[in-house]
Every structure is written in structure tokens, then in C-alpha cells.
């Protein structure tokens, strides 16, 4: 009888603990830059559901992804570790080893019902890392574009009394866009908000409106998820996070450690814990969001692979100024993005972002940041293609095509070169004055001290976190297999001049 009472007590205690643990709903767009949400004052887009979550909790004005490309950014977010600390998963379209436990893995182990719909982690091959399911959780499929159907299936399959964690990864606003769709929806060219690094022209504006319309489609899908939460009486104890994975798919944004490549929209609510209408200006990294999830949901990463971020839960869960602490800088980086240059080599970058400045270190300035303009074409891969048929680290788009066509126009040339020309080893931008990252201050004597200070701070952090780029050159990143398509490019001058400097890429053998 006593044993029976003990079992009943334990069962009721476990049930009470489970019911008290918060749920998690993540909603992530694909290629959306800050400040493209109406909560930030943008008039190009209307995002009532993002705005709603921001008003019900906190709106973040300084949130940054860990990499300006989807696959490594999502991997860093899931693990809470910098891209250079997760091997293959830190580069694009590679693999994701099971030893790097994600918060979705840990939540499942601790009794959560987990799953995802749409785009989880990827592109890449998680099975080669020993995983049976996507690092973002098991897939709950839906008809094309009907993401809420996947969430509905997930909720219906949830065991009664079990907390849940769900990852909704939209494919909006990823390229390609339906050309002219923004204007057809009623938007006007005058509404387009042209960032400083793009030329102002009707073609660019039209492209921006198409991008804006896809952000609005993502926001509508978020609204459907929120309705399902409410319908199932799950909204009060659910942490809701809406953000993006990396910057907008335009030249000099996505796949660049520039401001529009890494600065993200972010809104977080938790009705039972987070006060409403907060604006957080503190610098936040995605790995800090991971740390916050860990604290809020009582999970811990394994000691051998600790998370590197710091939780900000106490900053937003109490009625006090969430910005009272001195801002710590954030760090980000990139390796290979697309197959965009000789031997599919990457364009390694690391950066440090403070309140005022962005310092970028380009580890291989001899390479083209967007890839060279020409590649081999044809089935044999031996025929050289058109002069400007490359630049594959920029998504194909009307904006790029326009800049290529008008590159000799003095008004357009500077924007084109900004996107595709080789860059110096160091770049320094005053973000408060130059959010478009147009004027490099690295060689300005008046900024020598801040450049040296940030360079040293970045180098110390990279060494402290065992970044191969800071320790031994980092050529190991080039050995990680790419599972997506491969392009072939002519041998560049730096290879001809110093063939021994070419990193080994054993995974490319037999590909051609």
C-alpha cells in the first residue's frame, strides 16, 4: 500500500513538473534582414504577427545570427556553439555529427514532444553524421506552403500532458521570388526601402517589393501557428520566438559578414513570464538565444561541448531595464557558402560587432568574395562560360543581373564592385554612421586604435574558442564534404603562383 502511494505521488509530481515546463514554438524565416518588419518602423512590409509577439513580450533591435548562411547559422543556433566549434556543421551543405547535441535533442531526452515542419537544419546530410532525424526534430509534413497543417499534425500527436518544442522553418523569403508579385499585390515602387549598398532604380525597388511580399507570407503563416496555439489553449505557457536565419538574398548582404548579412529581426514572448512591450537594445547572438532556451527549459549541454552563449532570460523576465548591463560584443563568421570558386573553396571571414563598430577579418583576401565572374560550363566542364556568369555566392536575382548589365555606369559601378570585388584583409565600419558598410575605415589613421583593439579582441576570442583559422590557418574546413551540386572554375592566379598553398579537398576526387 505504501509503495502504491509512493508511485502515485511520484506520478503526480512528474505530471505537475511536466505541466509547469514551458512549451517552445520557433518560427524562422529564410533570408530576412533587420529591419524588415513593421515593428521596426518599416513601411515596405506589414508584419502584424511579428509585431504582436513583440508587443506581448520583447522586441530586439540588436540580434545577430552566427553566420550569414542558412545551414551553419541554424547549426550554431541549435547547438549554442560558434560555427568553428562544430566541424562539418559549421559550413554549408555538409554534415551534422550526432555528438553535437541540439536543444531539440536535449528536450526530447528530457520528455518533450519535438518536431519540425518546413526547413529544419539544412541543406546538408545529417545521416552521415550518424543521425536518424533532422537536428531540428522529426518532420511533420504538410502540403506545399501549408505549414500550419504540419503543426496541426504535431499538436494532435502530442501525448497528453507532455510539453512540446516545435520548429517552423519557412522557405520564405528565400529566392527565387515571383517577379512583379509585390507590385501586383498593391505595393508601389515608392514604398520600397533601398538599402545603402544597392543602387536606387525601378528594377531594384521591384525586386525589394517581391522580397517584402514573401516576408508578409511568412508572417501570415506565423499567424496561423499562433491561432492553433490559442485554439488548443497552449499559448499562455509557450515561449514564442520569431526570427530569421541570415540576411536578405541581395548582393552584399546574405553570405557576407556585413550588417545586412548578420543583423536579424527578433521578437520573443512568454505570456506567463515575460512582461509586455519591452524593447531590448542589448547585443544578442543566436547562441545567446540558445543559452536562454536552455535556462528556461531546464536542459544542459554535455560538458565536452558546452554552449558558448549567455542567457538573457533574467533581463526580459523581470520588470527592469533589459539594457542595464554593459554590452558585450557578438562574434560571427562564415566558411564555404555555395560552390562558388576553384575547388569549391570557401571565403573564410570572422567578425566582431560592438555597439558602434563592425570589424571583419577576411582570412583569404586573394579569393573573390562572391566567387569569380567566370566558370566552366557544358557537360565536360571544359568550356569557359560567359564573363559574368559566376558570382555564385550571390543568389541569382534581378538586382544582380541589373548591376552586371549596368556595371560601367558610374552610378552603378561602385555598388557592383562593392558586391564582387576582392576585399582587403581587414575591414572596419562605423555602423552608427554607415549601416550599409560602404566606407572601410581599417586604414584610416583616426581609427587605428579601434581597429587594433577589435582585431586583438577578435583574435583572442578565436584562440580561446579554438578556431582553426586562428590556430593553424584553418584549411581543415576545406576538407569537409559538400553534398550539394558542384561547379568548376578556372585555376586562379594565386594557385598558379603558389600551387603548394592550395588546401586539400579529398572529397572532390572523382566528382568531375
Handedness of CA 106, 107, 112, 113 (dihedral sign): negative
- The dihedrals phi and psi of 187, each to the nearest 5 degrees, come to -75, 150
With contact defined as beta carbons under 8 Å apart, do 394 and 207 qualify?
no
Beta strands 278-280; 58-64: pairing state: parallel
Are 324 and 339 spatial neighbours (Cβ–Cβ below 8 Å)?
A: no
Alpha helices (H) in 57-118, listed in sequence order? 70-79, 103-109
pLDDT at 145: 78
- CB neighbour list of residue 113: distance below 8 Å, 6 or more residues apart: 154, 157, 158, 159, 162, 163, 164, 165
Domains of the chain: 21-328 (3.40.720.10), 332-508 (no CATH)
**Distance (Å, whole) CA 42 – CA 55:** 16
**Percent of the chain that is helix, strand, coil (3-state, to 5):** 35, 15, 50
User: Looking at residue 142, what is its pLDDT?
Assistant: 78
Question: 329: which DSSP letter?
Answer: P
What pTM value is reported for the model? 0.94
DSSP 454: H
Residue-level pLDDT at 105: 98
CB 71 within 8 Å of CB 123: yes
- Nearest alpha carbon to residue 252 among 203, 209, 197: 197
Phi/psi at 306 (nearest 5 deg)? -70, 155
pLDDT in the model for residue 144: 77
Cell of 79: 547547438
What burial letters (b/e) apply to 230-247, b meaning 16+ CB within 10 Å?
A: eeeebbebbbbbbbbbbb
> Which residues in 102-225 belong to E strands, given as ranges?
113-118, 164-169
Sorted by sequence, the CB contacts under 8 Å of residue 453 that are 6+ apart come out as: none
Helix (H) and strand (E) counts for the chain? 15, 14
pLDDT tens per residue across all 512 residues of the chain? 444 443 343 343 344 444 589 999 999 999 999 999 999 999 999 999 999 999 999 999 999 999 999 999 999 999 999 999 999 999 999 999 999 999 999 999 999 999 999 999 999 999 999 999 999 999 998 777 799 999 999 999 999 999 999 999 999 999 999 999 999 999 999 999 999 999 999 999 999 999 999 999 999 999 999 999 999 999 999 999 999 999 999 999 999 999 999 999 999 999 999 999 999 999 999 999 999 999 999 999 999 999 999 999 998 887 666 665 667 999 999 999 999 999 999 999 999 999 999 999 999 999 999 999 999 986 556 799 999 999 999 999 999 999 999 999 999 999 999 999 999 999 999 999 999 999 999 999 999 999 999 999 999 999 999 999 999 999 999 999 999 999 999 999 999 999 999 999 999 987 87
Give the span between the Cα atoms of 35 and 399, in whole angstroms: 19
C-alpha span between 69 and 482 (Å, rounded): 14
**What span, in angstroms and rounded, lies between the C-alpha atoms of 394 and 360?**
19
Q: What contacts 492, CB < 8 A, 6 or more positions away? A: 341, 342, 366, 367, 372
**Contact criterion met (CB below 8 Å) for 333 and 84:** yes
Q: What is the dihedral of CA 148, 152, 157, 163, to 10 degrees?
A: 80
The contacts of residue 224 (CB under 8 Å, 6+ apart) are: 147, 148, 151
Quick check: bond before 173 cis, omega within 30? yes
Q: Which residue carries 521570388 as its cell? A: 177
- What's the order of all strands across the beta sheet hosting 349-353? 330-334, 349-353, 357-362, 426-430
Upper half-sphere CA count for residue 236 (Cβ side, 13 Å): 5
Nearest to 335 by CA among 28, 80, 33, 94: 94
Please report, in angstroms and rounded to a whole number, the separation of the first and last CA atoms in the chain: 73
What is the phi-psi region of residue 137: left when phi exceeds 0, alpha when psi lies from -120 to 50, beta otherwise? Answer: left
- Give the pLDDT of residue 318: 76
Helix axes 70-79, 286-296, angle to 10 degrees: 30
* Nearest Cα residue to 121 out of 145, 103, 142, 147: 103
All cell numbers assigned to 391: 558570382
Residue 59's beta-bridge partner residues? 267, 279
C-alpha 368, offset from chain centre: 22
- How far is Cα 331 from Cα 359, in angstroms, rounded to an integer? 10
Longest Cα separation, the chain: 89
Residues 398, 207 contacting (CB under 8 angstroms): yes
Bridge-based pairing of strands 263-269 and 238-244 is: antiparallel
Amino acid at each position: 500500500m505504501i509503495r502504491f502511494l509512493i508511485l502515485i505521488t511520484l506520478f503526480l509530481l512528474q505530471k505537475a513538473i511536466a505541466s509547469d515546463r514551458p512549451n517552445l514554438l520557433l518560427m524562422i524565416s529564410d533570408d530576412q534582414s533587420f529591419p524588415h518588419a513593421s515593428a521596426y518602423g518599416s513601411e515596405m512590409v506589414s508584419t502584424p504577427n511579428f509585431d504582436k509577439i513583440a508587443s506581448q513580450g520583447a522586441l530586439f533591435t540588436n540580434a545577430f545570427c552566427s553566420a550569414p548562411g542558412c545551414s551553419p547559422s541554424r547549426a550554431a543556433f541549435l547547438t549554442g556553439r560558434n560555427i568553428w566549434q562544430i566541424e562539418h556543421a559549421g559550413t554549408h551543405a555538409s554534415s551534422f555529427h550526432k555528438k553535437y547535441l541540439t536543444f531539440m535533442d536535449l528536450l526530447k531526452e528530457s520528455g518533450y514532444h519535438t518536431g519540425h515542419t518546413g526547413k529544419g537544419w539544412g541543406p546538408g546530410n545529417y545521416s552521415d553524421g550518424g543521425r536518424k532525424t533532422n537536428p531540428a526534430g522529426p518532420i511533420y509534413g504538410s502540403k506545399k506552403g501549408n505549414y500550419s497543417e504540419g503543426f496541426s499534425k504535431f499538436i494532435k500527436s502530442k501525448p497528453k500532458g507532455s510539453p512540446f518544442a516545435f520548429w517552423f522553418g519557412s522557405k520564405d523569403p528565400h529566392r527565387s521570388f515571383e517577379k512583379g508579385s509585390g507590385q501586383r499585390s498593391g505595393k508601389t515602387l515608392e514604398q520600397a526601402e533601398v538599402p545603402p549598398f544597392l543602387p536606387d532604380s525601378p528594377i531594384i525597388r521591384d525586386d525589394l517589393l517581391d522580397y517584402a511580399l514573401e516576408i508578409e507570407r511568412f508572417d501570415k503563416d506565423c499567424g496561423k501557428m499562433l491561432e492553433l496555439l490559442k485554439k488548443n489553449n497552449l499559448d499562455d505557457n509557450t515561449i514564442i520566438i520569431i526570427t530569421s536565419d541570415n540576411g536578405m538574398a541581395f548582393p552584399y548582404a546574405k553570405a557576407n559578414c556585413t550588417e545586412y548579412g548578420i543583423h536579424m529581426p527578433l521578437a520573443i514572448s512568454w505570456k506567463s513570464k515575460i512582461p509586455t512591450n519591452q524593447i531590448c537594445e542589448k547585443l544578442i547572438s543566436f547562441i545567446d538565444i540558445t543559452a536562454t532556451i536552455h535556462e528556461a527549459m531546464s536542459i544542459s549541454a554535455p560538458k565536452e561541448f558546452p554552449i558558448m552563449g549567455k542567457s538573457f532570460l533574467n533581463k526580459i523576465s523581470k520588470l527592469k531595464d533589459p539594457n542595464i548591463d554593459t554590452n558585450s560584443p557578438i562574434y560571427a563568421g562564415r566558411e564555404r557558402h555555395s560552390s562558388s570558386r576553384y575547388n569549391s573553396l570557401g571565403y573564410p571571414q570572422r567578425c566582431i560587432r560592438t555597439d558602434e563598430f563592425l570589424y571583419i577579418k577576411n582570412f583569404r583576401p586573394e579569393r573573390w568574395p562572391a566567387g569569380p565572374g567566370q566558370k566552366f560550363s557544358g557537360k565536360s566542364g571544359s568550356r569557359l562560360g560567359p564573363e559574368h556568369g559566376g558570382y555564385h555566392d550571390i543568389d541569382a536575382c534581378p538586382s544582380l543581373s541589373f548591376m552586371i548589365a549596368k556595371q560601367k555606369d558610374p552610378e552603378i559601378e561602385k555598388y557592383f564592385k562593392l558586391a564582387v570585388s576582392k576585399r582587403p584583409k581587414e575591414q572596419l565600419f562605423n555602423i552608427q554612421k554607415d549601416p550599409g558598410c560602404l566606407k572601410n575605415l581599417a586604414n584610416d589613421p583616426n581609427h587605428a586604435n579601434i581597429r587594433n583593439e577589435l582585431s586583438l579582441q577578435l583574435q583572442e576570442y578565436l584562440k580561446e574558442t579554438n578556431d582553426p583559422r586562428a590556430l593553424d590557418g584553418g584549411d581543415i574546413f576545406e576538407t569537409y564534404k559538400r553534398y550539394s551540386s558542384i561547379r568548376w572554375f578556372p585555376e586562379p592566379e594565386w594557385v598558379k603562383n603558389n600551387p603548394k598553398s592550395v588546401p586539400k579537398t579529398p572529397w572532390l576526387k572523382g566528382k568531375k
